[in-house]
């Protein structure tokens, strides 16, 4: 019965630790490979690693892209600044009005102790898919917009990922800077798809497992990585490594793959293996599908979501990031006024962190 209190160190970790670690590793690897020249000015190198707009949650910049922008002469142009302000407004709209507006609905099911039926689980998971996309892409939009005001273009990190019809396409659209980092510095060095089919599947699974583990030392993140690794392997086996063309079946494959993506988000958001098992069983059996106890989203989220979907669908169909510049001046002004109005509706005295701050 001897009490022994082991001393522990109260260490403060730097903000954005995983993001600027990946950025520093990118620089080291590319200099080692001869793809980038070593930066001799420590201040420029430090600015590259700790560039404040994207420091906390990305996008993860490559040395070959960001370092030249910091070294070369920059010019601040009106069109670039207006684009930056548009991105900042869009990011605030996604975060304040929508992500924060559905957060309480998601928590009312995933953080509750009462038994949840299939309807509650399905709605909470669907809203979490909305929350994590709007929350994470909002930070990226604000980071890219802030950098544009300084005359620097950061890479695109999201490209309407929920319009994907297969897992390969999804990872070309979701958190692009991380997925390409894992591809170039992990998947390809492991052998990529240059070996046998078995080796390719092994490389895919290893890459996605480590990608899941990057989000945190928790088994649900590993399970989420394994889930995406498995569907990537199945897709590669079925497609033979060829990207299927979009055709008549696109509008059937899109909702089917979105349902798979949402189940992956269930694994990601769940608090324990037991909750994953209970929620999966509820979805499989359809238990209490119509007995809903989920907290309703805020009014700002309810009117903001259709507006965001319309903007995303328009950008996806036109395949043009500057689609809004084609609007007449009056309609663009009306759009911005509507976004500001919804942001004000969603403003709350309860601060809500960005989800990816914890990673």
Taking alpha carbons only, the member of 180, 134, 170, 179 closest to residue 261 is: 170
Q: What is the mean pLDDT of residues 70-99?
A: 93
**Mean pLDDT score across all residues of the chain:** 90
At residue 349, the pLDDT reads 64
Q: Is the pLDDT reported for residue 245 higher than 90?
A: no
209-234: pLDDT as tens digits = 999 988 877 888 999 999 999 999 99
Does this model's pTM top 0.85? My answer is yes
Report the C-alpha gap between 28 and 10 in whole angstroms. Answer: 30
Q: What is the mean pLDDT of residues 188-207?
A: 93
At residue 8, the pLDDT reads 72
At residue 247, the pLDDT reads 67
At residue 2, the pLDDT reads 78
Cα distance from N-terminal residue to C-terminal residue, the chain: 39
Active site residues: 215
Whether 203 contacts 184, CB under 8 Å: no
Report the C-alpha gap between 127 and 259 in whole angstroms. Answer: 12
Q: Is the pLDDT reported for residue 177 higher than 80?
A: yes
Q: What is the mean pLDDT of residues 347-358?
A: 76
Whether 167 contacts 228, CB under 8 Å: yes
Q: Is the pLDDT reported for residue 42 higher than 80?
A: yes
At residue 54, the pLDDT reads 87
Confidence of residue 16 (pLDDT cuts 50, 70, 90): low
H-state helical runs in 184-328: 188-190, 197-214, 219-239, 250-269, 273-285, 299-318
Q: What is the mean pLDDT of residues 19-39?
A: 91
Confidence of residue 80 (pLDDT cuts 50, 70, 90): very high
Report the C-alpha gap between 147 and 349 in whole angstroms. Answer: 28
At residue 291, the pLDDT reads 82
160 CB-near residues (< 8 Å, 6+ apart) = 173, 312, 315, 316
At residue 246, the pLDDT reads 67
The C-alpha angle with vertex 354 and arms to 114 and 342, in degrees rounded to 5, equals 90
At residue 74, the pLDDT reads 87
Confidence of residue 248 (pLDDT cuts 50, 70, 90): low
Q: What is the mean pLDDT of residues 65-69?
A: 91
Q: Is the pLDDT reported for residue 190 higher than 80?
A: yes
Q: What is the mean pLDDT of residues 255-273?
A: 95
At residue 7, the pLDDT reads 74
């Amino acid at each position: 019965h001897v009490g022994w209190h082991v001393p522990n160190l109260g260490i403060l970790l730097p903000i954005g630790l995983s993001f600027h670690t990946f950025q520093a590793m990118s620089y080291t690897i590319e200099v080692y490979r001869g793809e980038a020249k070593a930066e001799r000015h420590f201040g420029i190198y430090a600015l590259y690693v700790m560039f404040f707009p994207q420091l906390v949650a990305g996008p993860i910049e490559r040395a070959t892209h960001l370092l030249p922008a910091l070294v070369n002469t920059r010019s601040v142009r009106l069109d670039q600044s207006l684009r930056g302000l548009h991105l900042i407004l869009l990011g605030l709209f996604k975060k304040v009005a929508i992500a924060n507006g559905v957060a309480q609905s998601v928590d009312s099911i995933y953080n509750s102790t009462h038994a949840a039926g299939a309807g509650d689980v399905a709605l909470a998971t669907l809203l979490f898919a909305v929350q994590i996309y709007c929350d994470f892409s909002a930070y990226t939009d604000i980071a890219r917009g802030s950098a544009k005001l300084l005359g620097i273009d950061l890479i695109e990190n999201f490209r309407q990922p929920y319009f994907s019809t297969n897992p390969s396409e999804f990872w070309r659209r979701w958190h692009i800077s991380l997925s390409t980092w894992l591809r170039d510095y992990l998947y390809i060095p492991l052998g990529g798809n240059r070996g046998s089919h078995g080796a390719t599947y092994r490389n895919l699974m290893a890459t996605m497992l480590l990608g899941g583990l990057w989000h945190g030392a928790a088994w649900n993140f590993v399970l989420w990585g394994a889930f995406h690794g498995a569907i990537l392997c199945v897709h590669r086996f079925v497609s033979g490594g060829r990207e299927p063309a979009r055709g008549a079946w696109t509008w059937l494959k899109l909702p089917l793959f979105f349902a798979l993506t949402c189940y992956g988000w269930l694994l990601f958001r769940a608090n324990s293996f037991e909750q994953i098992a209970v929620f999966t069983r509820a979805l499989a059996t359809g238990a209490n599908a119509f007995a809903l106890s989920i907290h309703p989203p805020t009014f700002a989220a309810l009117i903001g979501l259709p507006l965001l979907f319309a903007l995303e669908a328009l950008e996806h169909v036109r395949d043009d990031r500057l689609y809004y510049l084609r609007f007449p001046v009056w309609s663009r002004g009306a759009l911005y006024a509507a976004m500001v109005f919804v942001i004000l509706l969603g403003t709350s005295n309860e601060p809500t962190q960005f989800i990816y701050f914890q990673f």
